Amino acid sequence: MSDMDDMDDGSGIIKKFMFLNRKAPHGTVYALEGLEVVLITAAFDQDVSLVFTDDGVYQLMKGIDTKGIEVKDFSKTYRALEGYDIEKLYVDRTSLDARGLTEDDLIVDVTVLADDEMANLMAEQDVVISF
């Protein structure tokens, strides 16, 4: 067992990874597992983008209270992403609008994209992983 962040394999290949978060934060394990994968990926110094779309935008909502469902509230962890040098967070306008949300309802700073901008961003990626 080691702290793997200190390793350097010297390959130096940087790919564009997009993690697509589409599901509500609780009820399934996707959101939390996706977040953990993102935190692990951060150790490999890749070009990482996170997208929150459909019910995935709820993952970023302020003021989540999970006491009633007795699960961990990991929404604060999105604020730690900056420390992991993951600073490209995107939300699509259509998903926000459909749920009556605005950027002010979100726990972190994000870039809000229109549908065509999101499509372009996805087209640029080497790898897209959906949760």
Partner 1 sequence: MPMVNIAGKEVEVDEEGYLVDLSQWNEDIAKYMAVEEKVELTDAHWEVVNFLREYYAEYQIAPAVRVLTKAIGKKLGPEKGNNKYLYELFPYGPAKQACKIAGLPKPTGCI
**Residue 127 touching partner 1 (CB under 8 A):** no
Contact (CB, 8 A) for 56 and 89: no
**In the stretch 31-50, what mask flags binding to partner 1 with x, by CB under 8 A?**
-----x--xx-xx-------
Closest distance to partner 1 from the beta carbon of 5 (Å):
4
Closest distance to partner 1 from the beta carbon of 20 (Å):
20
**In the stretch 92-121, what mask flags binding to partner 1 with x, by CB under 8 A?**
------------------------------
Closest distance to partner 1 from the beta carbon of 40 (Å):
4
Closest distance to partner 1 from the beta carbon of 54 (Å):
24
Nearer to partner 1, 15 or 72 (CB): 72
Strands 127-130 and 88-92: unpaired
DSSP 8-class letter at 124: T
Query: Would the CA dihedral through 125, 114, 51, 82 be positive or negative?
Result: positive
Nearer to partner 1, 66 or 120 (CB): 66
**Residue 69 touching partner 1 (CB under 8 A):** no
Query: Would the CA dihedral through 60, 22, 38, 68 be positive or negative?
Result: positive
Please state, in angstroms and rounded to a whole number, the distance separating the CA atoms of residues 71 and 27. Answer: 10
Residues contacting 24, CB < 8 A, separation 6+: 31, 55, 56, 58, 59
**Residue 126 touching partner 1 (CB under 8 A):** no
